[in-house]
Structure 1
Amino acid sequence: MHIGKFITVAVAVAGFSSGAMADTYQWVDDKGVVHFTDDTDRIPARYQKRVREIPSPKATSPSDDGVLQNQDTGLEPNLPGGLSEEEWRSRFAAIRTEMKDLREGLPKKQDELNQLRRMRIIHQRVQDRTSYSERKAEIDRDETRIKELEAQLSALEIEASRAGVPMEWRQ
C-alpha cells in the first residue's frame, strides 16, 4: 500500500473512531519506512527527534440545520501528500544520505578486500581467508542496500510526483 493511501486511511479511521481521540505519532526510520503509533513509549529513542504529532481529529457536530459539520482538525489541507515541506525533504534526505555514505565507503572496503586477497594468496592462512570472506560479504551487503535505496528513492519520486510535491522539496 502506498504511504499516501495509508495516511489517508489512517486519518479516515481516526476520524470515524469516536472513542479513539488520542493523538497519532508518525516517524520515518533510517530505511525510509513510515511508522505510526498512538503510544509515545513505542517510539524508539533514536527516532524521538523525528516524530511528527498528528492531532486527533475533532468530533463532528450538528449545525443548526441538522447537518453534520467537521470542526477544525488542525491539519493543513493543502499539503502535498499530507506532508509538510520539511517532512518531504527529510524523507528524500534520509535515503540520499544513506546511499551517499555507502557509496563513499565502498572504495576503501574494496581496497581492503584486494589487500586481503593478496594476503590470502601469499600466506594461505585460515584467518586471511575468513577476513576476506567477511569483507566480501560486507561489500555485497552494501551493494545490495544501495540497490534497495535506489528503488526506494525511485518509488518516493513517483509518490511525490503523484502528490504534486514541488521539485525543490525533493532536493
Structure 2
Amino acid sequence: MKTILLSLLLLSLLIPSAARAAFYQWTDAQGVVHFTDNRNNIPKQYRDKAHRVEVSDSAPVVVSPGATAAPRPAATPEQAPGGHDERWWRDRYKSLRSELKSLQDQRTALQQQLVELRRKRTIFQRARDREAINTMEAQVSTIDAKISDMLNRIAALDLAAAQAAVPLEWRQ
C-alpha cells in the first residue's frame, strides 16, 4: 500500500501542470493603474471597475467582469500595436524612465543632505536642526511615494505593451 501511495505521489510531482495566476487591475481617480492578486485588496469604490487579468504560460488576457475571455484576433501589418506607432511607445517609455531617473537622483541628493543634517544634529542638538531633519524626512517619503507611483506606471505600460504585442525593441 505504501509503495502505491509513494508511486502516485512521485507520479503527480513529475507530471507538469500549467502555471496559471489571476491578477486584478484597476485605475484609481488619479489615473494610476494598480495590480493585486487578491480581490479583497481592491478599494470598494474601484471593485466594479476592476478587470481580472489571467496570466499563464502564454500571453496575458484581460477579462472584464461578466465577460468571457476570447482569443485576440491577429493584427494585420498595417495595424499598430495598441493603436500606437513605434515612436509613441518609445517616447512613452523614455519619458517614464527619465522621470523615474530624475526622482531617484532627487532622492539620492536628499538622502545626502539628510546625512549632513543628522551629523549637525548630533553635534548641536538645536530645535531648528530637528525641524529641518523632519522636513527632509517628509520630502524623502514623498519622493519615495512618487517613485513607487512611477514604477506602477511603468509596470502598467509594460502590461499594456505585452497585451498589445509590442516588440521588445520598442520598449527600450
TM-score by length of 2: 0.52
Which residue identity does 1:96 align to in structure 2?
A: R
Evaluate the alpha carbon distance shift between residue 2 and residue 111 of structure 1 in structure 2; reply closer, same or farther with a 3 A threshold: closer
CA apart distance, 1:117: 1.1
Q: Number of aligned pairs?
A: 102
- Uncovered stretches (5+) of structure 1, i.e. residues with no partner: 4-30, 34-75
CA distance in 1, matches of 2:113, 2:106: 11
Trace 1:12-161 onto structure 2 (pairs within 5 A): 78-161=79-162
Task: Sort the Cα spacing of 1:142 and 1:84 in 2 relative to 1 into closer, same or farther, 3 A.
Answer: same
3-state SS of paired residue (2:137): helix
**1:17-71 superposed Cα distances (whole Å, 9 cap, x missing partner):** xxxxxxxxxxxxxx997xxxxxxxxxxxxxxxxxxxxxxxxxxxxxxxxxxxxxx
* TM superposition outliers: structure 1 runs of 4+ over 3 Å: none
Residue 116 of structure 1 contacts residue 131 of structure 1 at CA under 8 Å; is this kept in 2? yes
Normalising to structure 1: TM-score of the pair?
0.53
User: Where does structure 2 lack aligned partners over 5 or more consecutive residues?
Assistant: 1-24, 33-76
CA distance in 2, matches of 1:116, 1:143: 19
Report the residue type matching 1:115 in the other structure.
Answer: E
Aligned to 1:59: none
- Tell me if structure 2 keeps the 8 A contact 1:32–1:95: no
Residues 82-119 of structure 1: CA deviation (Å, up to 9, x unaligned): 11211111211111111111222322221210111122
Residue 162 of structure 2 aligns to a residue whose secondary structure is helix
After superposition, give the CA deviation of every residue in 1:97-156 in whole Å (9 maximum; x if it has no partner). Answer: 111112223222212101111222322222211111111111111112111111111111
CA RMSD for the aligned pairs? 2.6
Report the Cα distance in structure 1 between the residues aligned to 2:145 and 2:161, rounded to whole angstroms. 24
* 1:20 matched residue in structure 2: none
In structure 2, how many angstroms separate the alpha carbons of the residues matched to 1:2 and 1:161?
17
